[in-house]
Chain A
Amino acid sequence: MTNETALERAMLVGKHTGVTPLSRRKFLGFAGAASGLVLMAASCKKDDDMNAEGVNLGSGDVGILNYAYALEQLEAAFYIQVLTTPYTGITVAESTHLKDIRDHEIAHREFFKNALGGNAIAGLEVNFSAINFGSRDSVLGTAKAFEDLGVSAYNGAGALIKSSDYLVLAGKIVSVEARHAALIRDLISNGSFANNEVIDSNGLEMSRTPAQVLAIAGAYVKTKINASNLPTS
């Protein structure tokens, strides 16, 4: 990989840990590496108060919906910036596709905001300082990482959802994220839409737990995210 971003490197680390729960040591390592992210271990629950500096995703299906809302906020903010400051040499076709993706992510973000109503977390403050928005390689590399991460996040969250209606809604969104991921990958390298970085020998895509996802995404979010009340099974 010639244009590996910090996020992609972080994801490779995550990938090699597999889908088994992270050991506490690795978990703390992730949390430490992901600046701005607070993932409290169960033993820290006594400190689980409302933090004026951060957000608490909450518990149950509301927690999972807030988790999805957080990821959609991140994606939407990224694509809004991409379209605001297009990279050098962007083609009309690329611009059209990226605008579509931006609108899809905004639609997802606003959907979750409305569905959650008074339970919605606040708007997150993002940190895109590691991204060079003038560079096609940097932008598409980050887009690829975000889209692959998003698909694995929804895939991993499905089994944590208790409401069949919300499970179906997550299913309606994840396939669109997968369509995005495939396109972005093909823009970077045609034919890489579903290669063995993301699909295993059984033809299955990977899943990630919320802890794994937030450890990776946290590098791009300034707001502290407390995911300690999310369901784990």
Chain B
Amino acid sequence: MNLHNVFGELEKADPEIYDRLDTRRHALRSFARMGSKVVLAAVPMALGSMFKKAYGGTNDTVVEILNYALTLEYLEAEFYQTAVSRFAVIGVPAGAAQAAITTISNHETAHVAFLKSAITSSGGTPVAKPTFDFSGGNGTMAGPFATVFTNYNMFLAVAQTFEDTGVRAYKGRAAELVGGGALLTAALNIHSVEARHASHIRQMRKANNFADVKPWITLKNSGGAPQAPYDGEEVTTQAGIQITNINGKAISAEAASEAFDEGLTKAQVLAIIDPFIV
């Protein structure tokens, strides 16, 4: 993720920017003391126009992103629907665990319906649901996760993979939706739900002693789940700012990495889910 420190960029464009700001703020303080009515410095307003990426805004862009999201939601929805129909075989305990998986399943199914509707109303055609192989075997049904629907531990590991990948996938397309209004808001409103799911699945893995994971992602620790969805999560620098021990605060590298979830590109996400698609 190539992030820029906006103020660094501003400084490159205008080496005297800080002087200008300081001078202006000094002047503002003087005016305020004199009781004059002043308007806040207009300099920051230049930021928006300076860095605003032209939002394509074409229906092609919108529909493509929505169909990308729909593909991921199809994957999650069918995964959890299958689990709900096989609780006993998987070994999901009755009570809180089954209730949680049912809650998540209902959300993913609702996301599929919502996205199909959004695509249609954007003038697009929803992609067809792929045929899935949750063993991760590309249709052989004998991939590395072949016990996903007979082994509770494996099931939760794959669930964590899908949830954390989903969070990263939505984030990875956010930049293309800047200025996207209601569509962007809807994507954000799905994104945070996936993060809540991820938090709970991780708590379930920890509570069952299946993995030593926290509700948040520490460095690039997958807790025994596939590694690719976690690569790149270990960064401790954001927009050129070092988060570890920032400003003299005792922030460990672990906490610095946990405090920010990273995005995944479309190519990275498709590579992660490819084994699950026939």
Interface residues of B in 171-205 (CB under 8 A from A): 171, 174-182, 184-186, 188-200, 203
Residues of A within 8 A of B199 (CB): 178-183, 186, 193
| Contact, CB under 8 Å: A114 / B246 | yes
Contact of B246 (CB < 8 Å), options: A107, A174, A175, A190: A107
Flag whether B209 is at the interface (Cβ < 8 A).
no
Q: How large is the interface on B (under 10, 10 to 19, 20 to 34, 35 or more residues)?
A: 35 or more
Contact of B103 (CB < 8 Å), options: A151, A164, A180, A195: A195
| Contact, CB under 8 Å: A202 / B110 | yes
Residues of A within 8 A of B5 (CB): 115
| Contact, CB under 8 Å: B114 / A203 | yes
| Contact, CB under 8 Å: A107 / B103 | no
| Contact, CB under 8 Å: A173 / B260 | yes
Interface residues of A in 96-111 (CB under 8 A from B): 97, 100, 103-104, 106-108, 110-111
| Contact, CB under 8 Å: B191 / A174 | yes
Contact of A204 (CB < 8 Å), options: B25, B170, B193: B193
| Contact, CB under 8 Å: B184 / A158 | yes
Interface residues of A in 103-138 (CB under 8 A from B): 103-104, 106-108, 110-111, 113-119
The chain B residue with its CB closest to the CB of A93 is B206
| Contact, CB under 8 Å: B22 / A118 | yes
Flag whether B251 is at the interface (Cβ < 8 A).
yes
| Contact, CB under 8 Å: A62 / B200 | no
Residues of B within 8 A of A205 (CB): 189-190, 192-193, 196
| Contact, CB under 8 Å: B6 / A158 | no
Q: Could you say which of A20-28, A31-39, A42-50, A213-221 contacts chain B?
A: A42-50
Given known pairs A164-B53, A165-B239, the reply for A174 and B188 (CB within 8 Å) is: yes
Residues of B within 8 A of A50 (CB): 28-29, 31-32, 38, 40
Q: How large is the interface on A (under 10, 10 to 19, 20 to 34, 35 or more residues)?
A: 35 or more
| Contact, CB under 8 Å: B189 / A48 | no
| Contact, CB under 8 Å: A110 / B249 | yes
A48 to B41, CA, bound (A): 12
Flag whether A161 is at the interface (Cβ < 8 A).
yes
With both chains docked as a complex, state the minimum distance between the C-beta of A212 and any C-beta of chain B, in angstroms: 14
| Contact, CB under 8 Å: A175 / B261 | yes
Interface string of B195-234 (1 = CB under 8 A from A): 1111110010000000000111000000000000000000
Residues of B within 8 A of A168 (CB): 1, 3, 171, 174-175, 263
| Contact, CB under 8 Å: B47 / A163 | yes
Interface string of A137-178 (1 = CB under 8 A from B): 000000000000001001110110111111111011111111
Residues of A within 8 A of B37 (CB): 46, 48-49
Given known pairs A176-B216, A182-B196, the reply for A165 and B3 (CB within 8 Å) is: yes
| Contact, CB under 8 Å: A164 / B180 | no
Residues of A within 8 A of B171 (CB): 168, 171-172, 175
Flag whether B241 is at the interface (Cβ < 8 A).
yes
Given known pairs A59-B44, A61-B44, A194-B196, the reply for A203 and B106 (CB within 8 Å) is: yes
With both chains docked as a complex, state the minimum distance between the C-beta of A213 and any C-beta of chain B, in angstroms: 14
A72 to B256, CA, bound (A): 15
With both chains docked as a complex, state the minimum distance between the C-beta of B199 and any C-beta of chain A, in angstroms: 4
Given known pairs A190-B96, A206-B189, the reply for A115 and B51 (CB within 8 Å) is: no
Given known pairs A103-B251, A168-B174, A201-B110, the reply for A174 and B192 (CB within 8 Å) is: yes
Given contacts A167-B175, A174-B191, 8 further A-B contacts (CB under 8 A): A48-B39, A60-B44, A100-B255, A103-B259, A104-B255, A155-B188, A162-B178, A203-B107
List 28 interface pairs A-B (beta carbons < 8 Å), by A numbering. A50-B28, A58-B40, A62-B45, A100-B214, A100-B255, A107-B243, A115-B6, A117-B7, A155-B189, A159-B179, A165-B4, A165-B6, A165-B175, A167-B175, A167-B177, A168-B171, A169-B260, A171-B188, A175-B192, A176-B195, A180-B215, A190-B96, A199-B196, A203-B108, A203-B114, A203-B190, A204-B189, A205-B196
